[in-house]
Structure 1
Amino acid sequence: MSEYLPISEEIRALGRQAEREIMPCFSRIEEICDRNTEKVLAAFTKNRVSDNLFAGTTGYGYDDHGRDTLDRIYADIFGTEAALVRIGFVNGTHALSCAMFSAVKTGDTVLSVTGPAYDTLQNTITGDYCGSMKHYGIGYKQVDLKDGAPDLPAIAAAVRDQAVKLVFIQRSRGYAVRKTLSCEEIGEICRTVRAAGSEAAIMVDNCYGEFVEETEPTQVGADLIAGSLIKNPGGGLAPTGGYIAGRSDLVENASYKLTAPGIGGECGCTIGQNRLLYQGLFMAPHITAQALKTAIFCAKVMELMGYEVSPKAEETRYDIIQTIAFGAPEPLRRFCEGIQAGAPVDSFVTPEPWAMPGYDDPVIMAAGAFVQGASIELSADAPMREPYVCYLQGGLTYASGKAGILLAAERISNAKS
């Protein structure tokens, strides 16, 4: 006899109610998915993708046509002069770090205009580590958000400092309680920087935001974007890696940081991974849409259970992240246990907070993924600190994502009774 997940009829009924209320939100997601799929297909067609490009290289990776063609495809999709797509990026922070170093040298200043950078990236900028920007004598300033939005007058004043050579924008919220920026808002920042007379490079941390809108930051004025392939653009198939896209000179400079000066992107074998990177990119708009639907379902279920969520279920979304403010550690732990129980991998594991590298607080993480750490697959994580906000992202299919959310709701409900 077939078995089903241990979800009570009460929680299933809650899920059906949530789904009825959010169905009108799904049509817009499908429209964006259709447009972005066309964009990907057009880039594949333009660059004459054939299965001969899927063969991998070894050693130095010279003349890897599949790798180089994928660079051009990413550049076409993001509307940029160049791109660097490599499995040699160990995570998104690595790609972002290389991208940041592309625009600055000793004596220059990085200006973050969306408050502090994401936890792990702070080590690159101000960390007391060999190789950090601080180590190389690169300065740092920041403009905090004002009422949760970019403070455009303060940004205009800050970029008039001639030492500012890189303006950094974090699109997503990271582990902060603030809204994700839309491409329209990013465009306003870019116009503000240019109107102030600054020629500084404008870079956007694009993690979690790819294919959520019909446009990308490089299409509204950003000079450079970077992100991880085990998030949106990898489509759940990329086994590792990251990308950088933007102005050709900046992309080339970033490639020297990835490998070595003078070598750059000409080396780097792909050892048989090209097909997964191509196929993952092809799937990316669809998988991103599945993750968005999962996030909306989560928001509505948690709202119905009385928790504060951001964004609200009906709000327009600019990344795949959903936050739930639990206000206490126990429901947060229960939620993560439920998400883990609904995973296809390691569903039997109980997540526990641990000292995760790059973070100041213990982090609890539910992540039963086919690719380790892939946050395009359903996952939930949170720093164990007040106000105990959980960050959910991903969902390769809406059906499986919905099941994970219901299991999480079941765990919380059982703890209350």
Structure 2
Amino acid sequence: MKIENHFIELGRDIESSLKEYFKEVDLIREKNFLKVLNAFQSVHLHDSDFGYTSGYGYNDIGREKIELIFAKIFGGEDAIVRPQIISGTHAIAITLFGLLRPGDLLVYASGKPYETGEGIIGIREVEGSLKEYGVKYGEFNFRDGFNEDLIREAKVVVFQRSKGYTFSDSISIDELENAIKIVKAVNPNAIVMVDNCYGEFVEEKEPGDIGADIIVGSLIKNAGAGIAITGGYIVGRRDLIKKISARVTAPGVGKEIGPMLGLTRNILQGIFFSPLVVSNAVKGAIFASKIFEDVGFEVKPRYFEKRADIVQAIKFGRVDLLLKFAQSIQKFSPVDADAEIESAPLPGYENKIIMAAGTFVQGSSIELSCDAPMIQPYIGYLQGGIYYEHTKYASLYALQEILKIL
């Protein structure tokens, strides 16, 4: 794809103006690298741990070390990290079904969950939801105040860190720490669960470091660095991980089985490279925020604001501009660059979704991608970028194409 010279020059000027913000990202990356390296070294990882296991996966030392590493990185006592966990949504479902029993109350304290989460809970009528099993549900947005009545009754209180399909701020670690303290003060027995998708390694601390009981995420997002080809993780208190493990496999068996199918090395390389790749994605998001704000689009977060995840929201206001943005990102991809993308229904979502994802791993959102529900005010959600340069030049190309029809 050709980018005109004056857009290249614009990119250089923008880049020069962002040096101090990029330096802050680099400092976070450095600290997270050391944390990850220390976790690897603490378990005495060896080349022989990368062996292939099949069938039941008994006595898989590589799997055991992966789970120790993830527990150390994310601030938990124990972990479940498996290729059989297909997505972040799957990790959330496993965790909630593992912790909740009929009559228990689940509370989302960060407001309305992702649309896929609505299916798990039973807000939307789907087969096999928590609602079918007699689990009650309530929600509030802690930024508007804490509903202490719901907290007192809650068995599990969930915070979703990322903004989802909203035009709001994602939840920072500092904000989350304060919210967890308030929940625990009202109900010390409440299990605080954090959906950490898109937030890993964006800041120096993880939710487990600041009081979360359970943290869940996906390996085809930040924690897999575009290297892991599938999988998810659940990290937290040992007693809770034991409960959840009965849902991952079967009661009485738990974590003791689960073949890694030759993916041990793949998953470990992914988490090892994550601080670097996430820093590239964050820099790309800052760059995109700056150039689109400079031409008049409303963005969140703004380029100078503190970030809690890798997602950059851009409000286009017109369906044709959003469509052109997504199509431009697709055309600047290494895979399926010639695909003509359109919006379509997607399982788990109520509205039509457009997705630009010319990725090596299907659905990977740490690789450069964007998606959006095709509803007013036509907000595009840009995320990922293994290379910072990929997001930089794709954003310039998208801006060039949008200005032709603006």
TM-score bucket of the superposed structures, by smaller chain = over 0.9
Shift of 1:128: 2.5
Shift of 1:195: 1.2
Q: Give the whole-Å Cα distance in 1 for the aligned partners of 2:3 and 2:280.
A: 22
Unaligned runs of 5+ in 1: none
**Please, which of 386, 399, 403 is the counterpart of residue 376 of structure 2?**
386
Q: Give the whole-Å Cα distance in 2 for the aligned partners of 1:414 and 1:324.
A: 18
SS at 1:135 equivalent: helix
Q: Give the whole-Å Cα distance in 2 for the aligned partners of 1:113 and 1:224.
A: 15
One-letter identity of the residue aligned with 2:121:
I
Shift of 1:91: 0.8
**Please, which of 199, 222, 227 is the counterpart of residue 217 of structure 2?**
227
User: Which residue is equivalent to 2:147?
Assistant: 155
User: Which residue is equivalent to 1:21?
Assistant: 17
The one-character-per-residue Cα deviations of 1:94-138 (angstroms, maximum 9, x if unpaired) are 001111223210000001111111110110012433321101000
One-letter identity of the residue aligned with 2:279:
A
The one-character-per-residue Cα deviations of 1:38-97 (angstroms, maximum 9, x if unpaired) are 001001111011111111201111111111110000011112110100000111100011
Shift of 1:370: 0.6
User: Which residue is equivalent to 1:410?
Assistant: 400
SS at 1:160 equivalent: helix
Q: Give the whole-Å Cα distance in 1 for the aligned partners of 2:204 and 2:363.
A: 26
**Please, which of 104, 111, 115 is the counterpart of residue 108 of structure 1?**
104
Q: Give the whole-Å Cα distance in 1 for the aligned partners of 2:75 and 2:87.
A: 23
> Is the CA contact 2:161–2:170 (under 8 Å) kept in the aligned structure 1?
yes
One-letter identity of the residue aligned with 1:138:
V
Is 1:35 the counterpart of 2:31? The answer is yes
User: Which residue is equivalent to 1:243?
Assistant: 233
> Is the CA contact 1:82–1:251 (under 8 Å) kept in the aligned structure 2?
yes
Identity %: 43
One-letter identity of the residue aligned with 2:83:
I
The one-character-per-residue Cα deviations of 1:281-315 (angstroms, maximum 9, x if unpaired) are 11000000000001001101111221110000111
> Is the CA contact 1:338–1:410 (under 8 Å) kept in the aligned structure 2?
no
Is 1:54 the counterpart of 2:46? The answer is no
> Is the CA contact 1:128–1:135 (under 8 Å) kept in the aligned structure 2?
no
Q: Give the whole-Å Cα distance in 1 for the aligned partners of 2:378 and 2:249.
A: 39
> Is the CA contact 2:103–2:136 (under 8 Å) kept in the aligned structure 1?
yes
**Please, which of 110, 116, 123 is the counterpart of residue 120 of structure 1?**
116
**Please, which of 315, 322, 330 is the counterpart of residue 340 of structure 1?**
330
SS at 1:396 equivalent: coil
SS at 1:66 equivalent: helix
Q: Give the whole-Å Cα distance in 1 for the aligned partners of 2:20 and 2:340.
A: 35
Number of matched pairs: 405
**Please, which of 278, 286, 298 is the counterpart of residue 268 of structure 2?**
278
**Please, which of 177, 191, 199 is the counterpart of residue 187 of structure 1?**
177
> Is the CA contact 2:148–2:186 (under 8 Å) kept in the aligned structure 1?
yes
SS at 1:415 equivalent: coil
User: Which residue is equivalent to 2:127?
Assistant: 130
Is 1:99 the counterpart of 2:95? The answer is yes
TM-score, normalised with respect to structure 2: 0.98
Shift of 1:261: 1.5
Is 1:316 the counterpart of 2:306? The answer is yes
> Is the CA contact 2:82–2:231 (under 8 Å) kept in the aligned structure 1?
yes
Shift of 1:277: 0.5
Q: Give the whole-Å Cα distance in 1 for the aligned partners of 2:285 and 2:365.
A: 13
The one-character-per-residue Cα deviations of 1:303-358 (angstroms, maximum 9, x if unpaired) are 12211100001111110000000001001011111111111111111211010111
User: Which residue is equivalent to 1:263?
Assistant: 253
Q: Give the whole-Å Cα distance in 2 for the aligned partners of 1:41 and 1:9.
A: 41
SS at 1:306 equivalent: coil
> Is 173-182 or 377-386 further displaced after alignment?
173-182
> Is the CA contact 1:156–1:192 (under 8 Å) kept in the aligned structure 2?
no
One-letter identity of the residue aligned with 1:54:
F
Q: Give the whole-Å Cα distance in 2 for the aligned partners of 1:175 and 1:406.
A: 24
User: Which residue is equivalent to 2:339?
Assistant: 349
Shift of 1:374: 0.3
Shift of 1:187: 1.0
Is 1:364 the counterpart of 2:354? The answer is yes
One-letter identity of the residue aligned with 2:29:
C
> Is 109-118 or 250-259 further displaced after alignment?
250-259
Q: Give the whole-Å Cα distance in 2 for the aligned partners of 1:313 and 1:63.
A: 48
Q: Give the whole-Å Cα distance in 1 for the aligned partners of 2:96 and 2:215.
A: 10
Q: Give the whole-Å Cα distance in 1 for the aligned partners of 2:199 and 2:281.
A: 11
Shift of 1:157: 3.8
SS at 1:167 equivalent: strand
> Is the CA contact 1:337–1:411 (under 8 Å) kept in the aligned structure 2?
no
> Is the CA contact 2:75–2:207 (under 8 Å) kept in the aligned structure 1?
no
Shift of 1:13: 2.3
One-letter identity of the residue aligned with 1:247:
R
> Is the CA contact 2:104–2:155 (under 8 Å) kept in the aligned structure 1?
yes
> Is the CA contact 1:226–1:245 (under 8 Å) kept in the aligned structure 2?
yes
TM-score, normalised with respect to structure 1: 0.95
Q: Give the whole-Å Cα distance in 1 for the aligned partners of 2:340 and 2:13.
A: 29
Q: Give the whole-Å Cα distance in 2 for the aligned partners of 1:156 and 1:214.
A: 30
Q: Give the whole-Å Cα distance in 2 for the aligned partners of 1:197 and 1:280.
A: 37
SS at 1:106 equivalent: coil
Shift of 1:253: 1.6
Q: Give the whole-Å Cα distance in 2 for the aligned partners of 1:415 and 1:9.
A: 19
